[in-house]
Amino acid sequence: MIGSLSRPMRLLVVGSLALNLFGIGVIAADAIMNRDGHGGLFGHCRPPRFMGLPSPRELREVLPEADQAKLDDLLKANKAQFHQRLDDLFAARQGVADAIKAEPFDRAKLETAFAALREREAGMASGAQDWLVDFVAGLDPQARAKVAELLTRRHKPPDKAPD
């Protein structure tokens, strides 16, 4: 079949095959290099913990299916409130950015913008903590212990290449 293709098409097919093999190699290398679920080639792409609390993904990894269902129900019930707080937080961050870029620079305006940002961050943290209290209140002691371990577990930063 390849013999019936023109020379440019053959080069294209061979190049495509080479790219596919390279992609498979990268994925395999990531799987091999992954250390404790935090390393690998793509480990640095994982977002940091939000407000220092375990993410829903982290909670799902340690909890049984019945508790995962409770988690999903609670997330659905609080989705609108969470998104509203998140929108408010992003708006406050934009206010800080706008105050920093403003010409002429107005120190008082920036201080006010930072105060608004602190207020939104506190509201977000408070909401997340209230949500976690509601969630763990419905868990058995073993599941609560797993959640507590997530809160105290330190994440090792990825190894840095020597300078």
Q: To which residue do tokens 């290449």 refer?
A: 161
Determine which of 25-34, 83-92, 112-121 has the lowest per-residue pLDDT on average. Answer: 25-34
Give the Cα separation of 136 and 119 in Å (integer).
26
Alpha-carbon distance of 74 to 59, in angstroms, equals 13
Looking at residue 9, what is its pLDDT?
A: 83
Q: Using 50, 70 and 90 to split pLDDT, how confident is the model at 6?
A: confident
Phi, psi (rounded to 5 degrees) for 50: -85, 120
Is this structure's pTM higher than 0.85? no
Q: How confident is the model at residue 119 (pLDDT cuts 50, 70, 90)?
A: very high
Residue 45 clears pLDDT 50, i.e. is over it: no
Distance from C-alpha of 127 to C-alpha of 74, rounded to nearest angstrom: 13
- Are 115 and 161 within 8 A, CB to CB? no
CB atoms within 10 A of CB 99: 20
What pLDDT does residue 8 have? Answer: 84
Positive or negative CA dihedral for 143, 85, 45, 114?
Answer: negative
8 A C-beta contact, residue 158 and residue 39: yes
Taking only the tens place, the pLDDT of each residue in 72-97 is: 998 898 889 989 998 999 999 999 99
Cβ atoms of 30 and 40 closer than 8 Å: yes
Sign of the C-alpha dihedral computed for residues 125, 130, 132 and 133 taken in this order = positive
pLDDT reported for residue 17: 79
Backbone angles phi, psi at 46, to 5 degrees: -75, 135
Residue 15 has pLDDT above 70, yes or no: yes
Share the mean pLDDT of the chain.
81
Asked if residue 56 has pLDDT above 90, the reply is: no
Q: Answer yes or no: are the C-beta atoms of 106 and 99 closer than 8 Å.
A: yes
